[in-house]
Amino acid sequence: MNPLVSPCAIARYKSGPPRRIPPREDPAMKRTLPILLALTWVLAVAFFGGCSSDRNSGSGDGQRGRRKPFFSMGTSPLGGTFQVVGDALCQVLNEKLQSQRMKFQAKATKGSRENIRRVDRGELELAIANSSITYFAVRGQKPWDRPYQVRTVMTLAPNVIMLLTLKDSGIKTIQDIKGKRVVVGPAGAGFEMFLKPLLAEHGVTYDDFQPLNNNQAGAVDMLGDGSADVICLGGVIPSGTIARACTTYDIHFIPFDPEACQRLVQKYPFFHHIVVPGGTYPDLPDDFPALNVGSMHVITGKDMDEETVYLITKTLYEQREAVLKRHPVGKFINPQNAPSYTGTPFHPGAIRFYREQGIWPAENLTNGATPPEAQAVPPGANTTAPLDEPPVDPLPRD
């Protein structure tokens, strides 16, 4: 026997390892434990769910850590009119709605057609578009494959189209463009939606000439180097592109037929008579009767939150002087123009604000079946193609 090991230790070793005595169960604790676990789970869900809601909500001033609601405004390619206007609008909205935890950003896009599609899909909350293009989109008329669910927030500046050629081209009237090379705007921009009906009233179709595509600056270059005979330029008056053409070349402004213009105004709510004052451009000494072929307007989705659209409309209208300091488009945010109907129904949030201001042009259409959100038509406006009836497609089917 090892003298260093005590007899007691040897006895414990031979009898096996020590027996573990289980703790005595508490019946009360056995009943309470599942309740405590369930309560812990409920509190955890409530806590983390509340945090998630806070991060995605813009309500509740003074609560830290909440993500600001983000609004993208589709515009046009960089350098385009819509992009510059969108920047000005978003700057004002960001400045004035900062306390509401709202953030706005102008996004460069390909223009009206892309903007309408992306607003319809919910990829853009807001956008700027040409009202003539939106007119056909909301009705699902060619080239649109279906009705697109967009609504007007505010009507902005007129889009004035002018046809230019060189003075020595021999082209004097719109009928003279038959057989010529004509720049009809950037590819995919949608200019054909107002050019086709305009030309049709003058007895000309796209089959009568060679359509070419380019942006406005590129169109002027094509006219100068002889690769185009006529160019279609549009935008806010005065247009820097048209001014550049006149200072670089001797330009002839192709006139519109007054009777054709009158028929267009009667057929479509987005066409309007407009006079470009003489002296606006170097080669335009006298007043020139032109056409507004579709004002630019701010659009949103049909299902956009009414309170949000109301707040956006209210801010832009009340802060129009701040917009004007950034871009001349601010002068068109006025009681006569902002709520003017161009063929696309207004959003209920915008309607509510204009009614509160007492500047809403009309309460209803002559067609009583028109949905409430479409009741944005001034007295005497064209109602030949209301949204609740299948309209006749006026565009050529070529």
CA–CA separation, 374 and 137 (whole Å): 15
Q: Is the pTM of this model over 0.85?
A: no
Give the per-residue SS3 of 104-170: EEEECCCCHHHHHHHHHHCCCCEEEEEHHHHHHHHHCCCCCCCCCCEEEEEECCCCEEEEEEEHHHC
| pLDDT tens string 326-381 | 998 999 999 999 999 999 999 999 999 999 999 998 643 332 223 333 333 333 33
Complete domains list, the chain, with CATH: 70-157+296-374 (3.40.190.10), 160-292 (3.40.190.10)
Per-residue pLDDT, 342: 93
| pLDDT tens string 204-246 | 999 999 999 998 889 999 999 999 999 999 888 888 889 999 9
Per-residue pLDDT, 238: 85
Structure tokens at 57: 């909500």
Per-residue pLDDT, 81: 82
Average pLDDT over every residue of 182-198: 89
| pLDDT tens string 252-298 | 999 999 999 999 999 999 999 999 999 999 999 999 999 999 999 99
Per-residue pLDDT, 307: 96
Strand 160-166 to strand 210-212: parallel, antiparallel, or no bridges (unpaired)?
Answer: unpaired
Measuring CA to CA, which residue among 124, 138, 125 is closest to residue 341? 138
Per-residue pLDDT, 80: 76
CA–CA separation, 65 and 55 (whole Å): 7
CA 22 to chain centroid = 73
Per-residue pLDDT, 378: 35
